[in-house]
Amino acid sequence: LSHTQMELGNLGKEDVNRAVMSMLSIDDASRTDGLASICYRRTLGNPFFLLEFVKLLEAEGLLYFHLGLFQWKWNEVDIESRTASTKNVVNLLQQKMERLSVEAQVFLQC
Nearest to 46 by CA among 88, 91, 94: 88
In angstroms, the CA 93 to CA 98 distance is 9
Provide the H-helix boundaries in 1-88: 13-24, 29-43, 47-59, 76-82
Q: What is the pLDDT of residue 64?
A: 97
pLDDT on residue 98: 81
Q: What is the pLDDT of residue 11?
A: 95
Name residue 43's amino acid.
T
Task: Write down the pLDDT at residue 101.
Answer: 85
Non-local CB neighbours of 16 within 8 Å, separated by 6+ positions: 36, 39, 40, 43, 45, 50
Look at the chain and count its residues: 110
Q: Which residues does the chain have with pLDDT short of 70?
A: 85-90, 92
Confirm if 75 and 62 have CB atoms less than 8 A apart: yes
pLDDT value at residue 107: 82
